[in-house]
Chains A and B, each alone.
Chain A
Amino acid sequence: MEIFIINLIGATLRVSTPILLAAIGETYAERAGILNLGIEGTMFFGAFIGFFVADKSGSLWLGFLIAVLSGVIFGLLMALLTVTLGVNQHVSGLGITMLCTGLSLFAFRLNYGGRSIPPSIESFQQLAPFKNIPWLNTLTEQYLFTYIAFLVIVPLAWWLLYRTSFGLKIRSVGENPEAADAAGVNVFAVRYAALAIGGGLMAAGGAFLSLAQLGAFTHGIIAGRGWVAIAIVIFGNWNPVRAMWGALIFGGASALQLRLQTMGLQLPIPYETFLALPYIVTIIALVLAGRNASYPAALLKPYRRE
């Protein structure tokens, strides 16, 4: 039983990582007042381009770097549409998701054809700092990115948001851009920056899947994880640390589902029930948290000076 639980926790951390990265990225976008529905596509493109570059160049790190860069670019594209042009945020975000999906699939088909077994690469190795203590090893044998996400990105994102002038600006432009503007804050620049950071984190989440967790790229690689991340942002009340708990809940439900599947129990219900479980849990969590959710006051509202 202990083994099962330790196993489960270890898997939870792994499964939560991409969603956590994306959720923090979305937190930054929304804190600045922009709902970025491009998240699903940005993750997808990150997963693809990371895989593609790593495969062609032989360098996993180069793949990861280019993936993050692509996320930044799509974040800036979102900013161009919603911040500069003031286009409807829902539609722009979905448009970016479709563009990213189409581009990835186009390039994937062009380079790998329509084969039925997805091509794979030698993925990142897991770190095992406590090899000699079996139970601790089960828990801590994780990818470097999982360590970075939980131990560096979460505290850093929190610190940046609540303890720096940049974070102060992000929070103010998402809450009252007129006030921020009057105080001499460049609302447009801050929103661009927040979306760029957010896009980079989203793509990093996608690249984690293709370069670490799976070592391959498939059409279903993201499978709605971006949408889950958006729900987690609301659940986490736009706070990176609370988003981490949300990501862990979803990750836990997913990990449990994987464990139950591999145990090969003959259950009277289809295994898809377990696959759907994390999504249903997320919706329930959203309903429970939604009543007290305090949305950034300027979310979805384009800012115009005159």
Chain B
Amino acid sequence: METSRLRLRFVKTDNPPVWVRPLIPVLALVVTFILTSALIFWANANPFETYYHFLIAPLTNKVSALEILVKATPLMLTGAAVTFAFAAGYYNIGAEGQLFAGAIAAAGLGVAMKEVPAFITIPTIVIAGFAAGMLWATIPALLKVKLQVDEVVTTLLLNSVMGFIVSALLNGPWRDPNSGWPQSPEIGASAIFFKLIPRSRLNLGFVIGLLVILVLWFVLTRTSFGLKMRAVGLGKPAARFAGIHVGRTTLIAALVSGGIAGIAGVAEVAGIQYHLIGDLSAGYGYTGIIIATLGSLNAVGVFIASLFFGLVDAGAQTVSRVLGVPVYLGEVTQATMLLVALGFFLLQRYRLRRM
């Protein structure tokens, strides 16, 4: 067929050109900010000024730069938790609830172990937080593996149930007798994560977060369990055929995921709040899903994404303080960024070709 008209079509390609990869986050960022600037106008602020306070200002002084790392800590942990489960094809949407399970363990033991020296207390509450998160994750994991009940729905519902457990504790036995506020008694000094840098909020939790990221990287890329997990996540029938125990692998991944989320709760209680409170987590469990996705389910990606989201969280507070733009701009930016980036991820698999 003789056609004079130039025809362009998207063609699927398996190997996108190398230069596309670093371009995607940048493009996604630009598009995200164009979209969210509508909200900034609505709040009667100047977008450029807002973005300056949002993304640049936090980096310009030490106090707020450290605050980024503080904000990134729970995100590194929940991001790693979600990655661990998602890599094995288990959709753990329950990191939020598991985080609170860990927080309950830390708040309870932190008070009970007041007289015990820190070098015993701190490891104990971390391990207990891991165990508590794991325990809470056991319910949906067993339902999935033994009874094929969809884990997405059960983990979501259990997040709500955990909310009620926390509320029952804070309005009941753990209500602070002095203040009457719905918060648990302050944990003992021996349970408090020490500061990495004096007069900042940066604490041991950040180091634990880094270690977990390191472990995540090692397990996923260097161990046979990591390969089994990825095989199960990417192709269950093939993994089963090759002799991998799909059920057992899924179960372990789900439990470890819950455990890591539990540590996130420990880090918030022992590193930041020193109490259990109802809004201990600003949806960190859910943000972890965004982070895992944007980080392409690998440890380095998760690390970078949590640092960036830490910046967004810190920046949103600055913007709210300085310009009066509601702090929820951060949440909107994160969600928009996710959706935009998902679109771009897909586009990189296509190439414009002349037919």
Main secondary structure of the interface of A (DSSP, over half): helix
Quick one: which of A35, A86, A223, A279 has the most chain B CB within 10 A?
Answer: A279
Contact A95 B328 (CB under 8 A): no
Chain A residues in 8 Å Cβ range of B342? 81, 85, 87-88, 91-92, 95
B328 / chain A contacts, CB cutoff of 8 Å: 102-103, 105-106, 109
Near B by CB (< 8 A), chain A positions 81-97 give: 81, 85-88, 90-92, 94-97
What mask results when residues 286 to 298 of chain B are scored 1 for a CB within 8 Å of chain A, else 0? 1101100100000
Q: Which of B149, B161, B172, B332 contacts A279 (CB 8 A)?
A: B161
CB distance A91 to B346 under 8 Å?
no
Does A280 touch B at the CB level, under 8 Å? Answer: yes
From A102, A230, A272, give the contact of B167 (CB < 8 A). A272
Give 1 or 0 for each of A267-280: 1 = CB within 8 Å of chain B CB.
00011110110011
- A residues near B153, Cβ cutoff 8 Å: 227, 230-231, 234, 286
- Choose one: B158, B326, B327, B332; the contact of A283 (CB below 8 Å): B158
Chain A neighbourhood of B176, CB < 8 A: none
Q: Is B164 touching A275 in the complex (CB atoms < 8 A)? A: yes
**Interface residue? B335 (CB, 8 A):** yes
Number of interface residues of B (CB under 8 A): 49
Q: Given the complex of chains A and B, what is the CA–CA distance between A228 and B148 in angstroms? A: 18
Contact A231 B157, CB 8 Å, known A81-B339, A98-B338, A103-B332: yes
Asked whether any CB of chain B lies closer than 8 Å to the CB of A215, the reply is no
Q: B143 contacts which chain A residues (CB < 8 A)?
A: 283, 287
Asked if B172 contacts A99 (CB within 8 A), the reply is: no
Near A by CB (< 8 A), chain B positions 134-151 give 143, 147-150
For A287, list chain B residues within 8 Å (CB): 143, 147, 149
In this complex, the interface size class of chain A, counting residues with CB under 8 Å from chain B, is 35 or more
Is the CB of B42 closer than 8 A to any CB of chain A? yes
State the Cβ distance, B297 to closest chain A Cβ, in Å.
11
What's the Cα separation between A99 and B158 when bound, in Å? 22
Give Cα A114 to B37, complex, Å.
22
A228 and B156 alpha carbons, distance in the complex (Å)? 9
0 or 1 for each of A237-273: is its CB under 8 Å from B? (1 = yes): 0000000000000000000000000000000001111
Instruction: List 4 extra interface pairs beyond A90-B91, A95-B290, A227-B160, CB under 8 A.
Output: A105-B326, A270-B172, A280-B161, A282-B157
- 24 A-B residue pairs with Cβ-Cβ distance under 8 Å, sorted by A, are A35-B152, A37-B93, A77-B339, A85-B342, A85-B343, A90-B152, A91-B342, A98-B287, A99-B332, A101-B283, A102-B328, A102-B329, A103-B39, A106-B326, A106-B328, A106-B332, A234-B153, A270-B168, A270-B171, A272-B168, A279-B160, A279-B161, A283-B154, A286-B150
Which 6 pairs between the two chains have the least Cβ-Cβ distance? Answer: A102-B331, A224-B160, A99-B335, A272-B168, A102-B332, A109-B326
